[in-house]
Structure 1
């Protein structure tokens, strides 16, 4: 299994409990809560994707993928947008009669769903902005200095021989960039916490 049942239950209960306790979704962004769920659940899911392909495979395809955004809220916007794009791509890949998702697609789907759930719960307004950004900027193929590379997942969903290797390569590249942004967010928050302790 990609995600152990206890960890999955902890994630759902934590999100549900926080929502009930606050009486609504957060408008600001609680980065420590986001990162706590990342380290507890999403980090392990990203490792599961790497295990399915081999760590070297992700690195070769990603070519040392990095996260361009420099500020926490921009990184979180990229994370939310990439999670949504991955979910839509895998959903499209699983469409059609007799079409089943493979192990890699299932693992990526899990990462995408939990990434969206966490950013939606703890960064409600930011999640809405990332959705607008995805539709207005990425689909128009525009890039800014802090925008992540275009995921370009749509061609992988075309019928025929273009599926398979092309889809796998694009999914792995997108997951590599998502993982890089998660790690950068964790690193920046660690630096801020260390500076505040002095």
Structure 2
């Protein structure tokens, strides 16, 4: 196995890799690995099955950069329930206004989460979010936290549905909304919210030149 060769060369290798003679045995091991995930000393979002034969790998080839002789089995995202303390808006370079959830800090997948994506105003409307709601937050691909569900049975009394702004929160300019409600944008090309993001992006993209 090339993994053993890498280990002999001094590379750090996961000792839990295994070689199996049947896919059924490999799947059984992967299932047990998934079930032991909470007790691992590191984060894991899945396992990779590979054909352990270089000649067969060469015959199978690849599609673009994706080999046909290897496949990743991703585990279901870990998720937690926490309280939505508020919704904050950010303005992108194009003027798109993005709602983000401010959460009661909670640990998820080994990190403390205090913010999560709400994607767009259409998603906020679909979820029917109120400040103070208990929400379900998984990490998409175990990387990006996002709000996917509101537990309305736990909703406090005397709360109101969050209402999106009618004008730009940065410049008070007019907003445009796409037909499918997935994009709300500021129409003002001179909006300070847009330009502060542009300046930051330009700085980040050119700082390596110096």
Shorter-chain-normalised TM-score: which range? under 0.3
TM-score (norm 1): 0.23
More strand by share: 2
TM-score normalised by length of structure 2: 0.22
Q: Which has the higher helix share?
A: 1
